Amino acid sequence: MTLSAHNLTMARRLANVSLALEPGTITAICGPNGAGKSTLLEALAGLIAPDLGHVRLAETMLAAMTPRERARAIGYLPQRAEIAWDVPVRSLVELGRMPYGDARAEPVEAALAALDLAAFAERRAQALSGGETARVLLARVLAGEPRWILADEPLAALDLAHQLALLAHLRRAADEGAKNRTGVVLVLHDLALAMNHADRAVVLHDGRVVADGPCEDALATEVIDRVWGVPARWLGEPGQKALVVG
Amino acid sequence: MTTRPIPLLLALIALALPLSLLAGRVWLDPASTPNAALILAELRLPRSLLALIAGAGLGAAGAAMQGYLRNPLADPGLFGIAPGAALGAVAALWFGYANSAWLIPLFALVGAGGAMALLAAIAGRTGGIALFTLAGLMVASLAGALTALAISLAPNAFAMESIVAWLNGALTDRSWREVWLAAPLVLAGIALLRAAGPALDALTLGETVARSLGVSPSRLLWLLVLGVGLTVGAVTAVAGIIGFVGLIVPHLVRPLTDRRPSRLIGPSALAGALLVLVADSAVRVLPLMTELRLGIALSLLGAPFFLWLLVKMRSGRL
């Protein structure tokens, strides 16, 4: 089901943002620091109420859904990892089942396996490295089998191999999904990762959408020059492009 | 290490309870002490049960508070409910109701309810944890200031003495009346705190993630206010201020659990019950001129423990 934003406006953070996101695709939200990327993601997840405008899931207003209905549909991963207690990894992944009120083993095991965490399940959270923690937190989102996965910089703490593995997993989720095709929205700083792995890019600048479309267009060098203020060149073949700046 | 703390704690309580019934300035020998049955039924048993109830309420409230504030140094006293209850009791004593067995706890319950209402009015709508903590601190310091005012303006020396004595919690001379008053309220409070367990687990990943998992911050806040209000309010109403139990007990129990906040509430209730039962038996047995007040004894135990905790935290081992 489509996730759409209609004229989202928040003082000093978002200005009249409208988007229609389709399931089965990976959308990258890009932009310089302070552009409003995380705010947009939180608004799409229904976690902050915009001053004006609204978010819809298919035809339903997100604000009109119960917290549990919303949580079943949308899995949200924030940028900052925060684990208050030294609990076992498995119990963190099981939290993903909370909107269903069950701790069904099957999706939990699948999420652990998908992120290469089966061997870590009984470890304590505080014994994990930064990259392992990032994978555990994403596994928590996957265990909820949401229709939409909204993740803020999920790749930042990961090494190259795990970045690629995670993107491949998100691609599988988008192509097949647990029940239906899942929609994936990622806030990404790394424009090359966005170019090579996303289907679509939305570029934000000062809270406004300044480019939206296939990555080749939305992340074209003119856009990068205009928005980030740096001269840039794309090298290489589609799917394996590298960005040279300066 | 994850063991099964509940059977262990139940076994320890089963062991400690008979000892506590026999312990006192006069050790009971059921065979030879005159009126042993009467002493047991009317004095020792209600006092021991009240110790269990008070400890269970304080332990569960402490565990829930630490989970809610995601801070191992949180204490139920932070919400201002115990100081509110104390203020109510102090008002009863100030007005000269020292001999009225019902009025002191009832005034205390009104005080606890007032503190809860004030908290909910200030912070209840938004459900923000930081605002709520600050509101709790303000309610606590307001109640503390009014209590100090009541002491300094006490109408006579007797009222002042009874206020000061009452503030240092104790279970001396308590009867079945207090047991019947506190037990249902404390049990209801513990049930509410246990109902908050899954939401407290989700809070392990922060407020935003908890909300994204479907946790309603305002529902959680209400469960906490009512749960802590009923447990701590009722305990303070019948026993005065008993500090540190809510702080110490979750720490002692946490290593025996998998550290999920929801898994800490039940064991903390049992461990709190055990701690207060043992401490109250110990103050009865200590060879002092007058019986050491339970609240003072637990603070004497609790403050050094708190310091040890801080040192341990500083060295990053917590």
Distance CA B121, CA B129 (A): 14
Nearest to A87 by CA among A157, A137, A131: A137
Q: Which single residue is written with the structure tokens 């026993």? A: B239
In this predicted structure, what is the pLDDT of residue B316? 63
Please, which pLDDT band fits residue B102 given cuts at 50, 70 and 90? confident
ipTM score for this prediction: 0.92
Q: Which residue of A has its CA nearest to B208?
A: A47
Nearest to B178 by CA among B16, B48, B283: B48
Lowest mean pLDDT among A186-200, A207-221, B35-49: B35-49
Lowest mean pLDDT among A82-86, B73-77, B214-218: B73-77
Check which CATH number belongs to the domain holding B105 and give it.
1.10.3470.10
- Shortest Cα distance from B311 to chain A (angstroms)? 19
CATH second-level architecture of A3-214? Answer: 3-Layer(aba) Sandwich (3.40)
Set of chain A residues whose Cβ sits within 8 Å of the Cβ of B216: 67
In this predicted structure, what is the pLDDT of residue B1? 46
Lowest mean pLDDT among A106-115, A145-154, B78-87, B128-137: B128-137
- Does A123 or B313 have the greater pLDDT score? A123
- Does A77 or B318 have the greater pLDDT score? A77
**Are the Cβ atoms of B205 and A95 closer than 8 angstroms?**
yes
- Does B141 or B1 have the greater pLDDT score? B141
B163-173: per-residue pLDDT in tens? 888 888 888 88
Q: Which residue of B has its CA nearest to A43?
A: B212
Set of chain B residues whose Cβ sits within 8 Å of the Cβ of A103: none
Domain extent, residue B119, equals: 5-314
In this predicted structure, what is the pLDDT of residue B66? 92
A→B interface, C-beta within 8 Å:
42, 45, 47, 66-68, 70-72, 74-76, 78, 80, 82-88, 91-92, 95-96, 98-99, 137, 140, 144
In this predicted structure, what is the pLDDT of residue B312? 79
Please, which pLDDT band fits residue A47 given cuts at 50, 70 and 90? very high
When pLDDT is averaged across residues B12-35 and rounded to a whole number, the result is: 85
Q: What is the pTM of this model?
A: 0.90
- The percent of residues in chain B predicted with pLDDT above 90, rounded, is 42
Q: Would you put residue B24 in left (φ > 0), alpha (ψ -120 to 50) or beta?
A: left
Set of chain B residues whose Cβ sits within 8 Å of the Cβ of A86: 259
Count the Cβ atoms, other than its own, within 10 Å of residue B148.
Answer: 11
Count the Cβ atoms, other than its own, within 10 Å of residue A174.
Answer: 20
When pLDDT is averaged across residues B300-309 and rounded to a whole number, the result is: 83
The continuous run of DSSP H or E covering A149 comes out as: strand A148-152
B43-77: per-residue pLDDT in tens? 899 999 999 999 999 999 999 999 998 888 888 77
A87-119: per-residue pLDDT in tens? 999 999 999 999 998 878 999 999 999 888 999
When pLDDT is averaged across residues A60-77 and rounded to a whole number, the result is: 95
**Are the Cβ atoms of B205 and A67 closer than 8 angstroms?**
no
- Does B258 or A246 have the greater pLDDT score? B258
Looking only at the bridges linking them, the beta strands covering A26-30 and A200-205 are: parallel
- The percent of residues in chain A predicted with pLDDT above 70, rounded, is 98
Cβ-contact B115, B84 below 8 angstroms:
yes
In this predicted structure, what is the pLDDT of residue A178? 47
Cβ-contact B83, B139 below 8 angstroms:
yes
Query: Going along chain B, which residue ranges are E strands?
Result: none
Set of chain A residues whose Cβ sits within 8 Å of the Cβ of B209: 76, 78, 82
Q: In the predicted model, what is the mean pLDDT of chain A?
A: 92
Q: In the predicted model, what is the mean pLDDT of chain B?
A: 88
- Shortest Cα distance from A67 to chain B (angstroms)? 4
Distance CA B269, CA B59 (A): 5
What residue ranges do the domains of chain A occupy? 3-214
Q: Which of B205, B256, B313, B317 to mutate to test the interface with A (most CBs of A within 10 A)?
A: B205
- Please say if the pLDDT value at position A23 is more than 70: yes
Total domains present in chain B: 1
- Shortest Cα distance from B169 to chain A (angstroms)? 32
In this predicted structure, what is the pLDDT of residue B194? 97
Distance CA B27, CA B36 (A): 10
**Are the Cβ atoms of A87 and B214 closer than 8 angstroms?**
no
In this predicted structure, what is the pLDDT of residue B2? 53
Q: Which residue of B has its CA nearest to A136?
A: B205
